[in-house]
Amino acid sequence: MEHMDIVAAFTDQAWLNRMTEQLHRKMTYAVGKAGETAWIPYTTDGHQWKKNDIGWWTNGFWPANMWQMYRMTGDGLYREEALRAEEMLDEALRNFKNLSHDVGFMWLIQSGVRYALEKNQDSYDRTLFAAEMLAARYNPNGFIRAWNEEGREGWAIVDCMMNLPLLYWASEETGDPRYRQIAMRHADTTIQHFVRPDGSCNHIVIFDPETGEFLENPGGQGYESGSSWSRGQSWALYGFVLSWLCTGEQRYLDTAKRVAHYFISQIADDWMPRCDFRQPEEPLLRDNVAGNVAACGLLELARAVPALEGRFYFDAAVRILKAQEQDAANWETDDPAIFTKCTSAWHDLNGRHITMTYGDYFFIEAINKLRGDRLLFWRPNHEG
């Protein structure tokens, strides 16, 4: 079976060169602004990174941005900043009781990447410790517990699909299948209880933590129960592609395609996701994170399927990246973040059309994919 060469297929070299130059200029500025603070960037207040708790789930994205930029440019500034953030995150590891299921986001894509590149033993230990914590959250009824609050023992969320690669990594590194088995059980539960027949997804599912019985599916960060939070759809899309890459199980690839078809059907008018695909017409709330995550997932999907089929996913990814960049990227050095229409949750009135380091992260990852970098940060022990 012939697979698509996405680098050869992307012919707009001028756009790619412009993105590369703009990213380098903007991220050099962003690192300088981070150096003026004592925290890890997450969002901005217009001119500066805002203060952020060390245990916040997005904190791995900043050093991951740095590693992506280091791969793109070879500039040692980015590596130094990645190391600064990685070491700061040890405080979060020490206070591990505050951490959620998001330890994959926090350690795989930066400590796991550093270990793959430099064989640093501390980075390996951090990544494996994170995997141990994620595995320990497994409820034998078939799901990984998302959050720590009392009363949320049976809560699982679709976002967790993106943390499963940490477990696949741990099985490959240690030779112990338990981590992979937990990941696959959770992925199978996600197919059964989160992904709907039309390819849309629930954000949250609450199970009885004693019996595993399905109880309810609140709207979570989307508009309402039964609606369709676009970022959740993008986590499922990319997450199932990654589970397919890590296991070779056809059902994960089929699920990724089902979610992708739904996602593309919802954005084909202007290629920019709304925050929730079933939100009211007004306000027209966007989420750039969902678009950039989905684009990364679609580029991997384009490679996974036969070449003639891949073109559909590839074209959609490129349209999303270009549309969002044109509409919402800020390349000026007046604010250290790039994407301006990221939305934390539909009902969070202060979190609408803000900046977020992970919205920027997935754009940079996509640009590196189009430039031909084959190091997949979600599977850093497999280059190529």
Shortest CB 79 distance to ligand GLY, Å: 27
Q: Determine the Cα–Cα distance for residues 359 and 348; give it in Å rounded to an integer.
A: 17
Question: Is 159 noted as a catalytic residue in this protein?
Answer: yes
Query: Measured at the alpha carbon of residue 311, what is the angle toward residues 305 and 313, in degrees to the nearest 5?
Result: 75
Minimum CB separation of residue 221 from ligand GLY in Å reads 6
What is the DSSP secondary-structure string of 240-263? HHHHHHHH--HHHHHHHHHHHHHH
Instruction: Give the span between the Cα atoms of 318 and 295, in whole angstroms.
Output: 7
Minimum distance, C-beta of residue 231 to ligand GLY, in the bound complex (Å): 5
Count of CB atoms within 10 A of residue 5's CB?
Answer: 13
- Residue in the shown chain whose Cβ atom is closest to ligand GLY: 159
What 8-state DSSP symbol labels residue 223? Answer: S
Nearer to ligand GLY, 159 or 276 (CB): 159
Q: Compare residues 123 and 230 and give the one whose CB is closer to ligand GLY.
A: 230
CA 183 to chain centre: 17
- Asked if residues 40 and 28 have their Cβ atoms less than 8 Å apart, the reply is no
- The binding site for ligand GLY (CB under 6 A) comprises 159, 221, 231
Nearer to ligand GLY, 231 or 341 (CB): 231
Least Cβ distance, residue 157 to ligand GLY (angstroms): 7
Taking the least distance from each CB to ligand GLY, the nearer of 39 and 56 is 56
The two tokens of residue 341 are 């229409």
Residue 276 is among the residues annotated as catalytic for this protein? no
Out of 53, 102, 198, 315, the active site residue is 102
Given the complex with ligand GLY, which of 4 and 166 has the nearer CB atom?
A: 166
Closer residue to ligand GLY in complex, CB, 336/359: 359
Instruction: Give CA–CA dist 184/51, Å, rounded.
Output: 36
Which whole-number Å values give the CA distances from 99 to 91, 93, 306, in the listed order?
11, 8, 40
CB of 37 to ligand GLY, least distance (A): 22
> Could you say which of 5, 75, 125, 159 is catalytic?
159
Least Å from the CB of residue 116 to ligand GLY: 24
Given the structure tokens 């920027």, which residue do they identify?
A: 360
Contact 356/42 with Cβ under 8 angstroms?
Answer: yes
Contacts of 123 (CB under 8 A, 6+ apart): 86, 111, 112, 114, 115
Active site residues: 102, 159
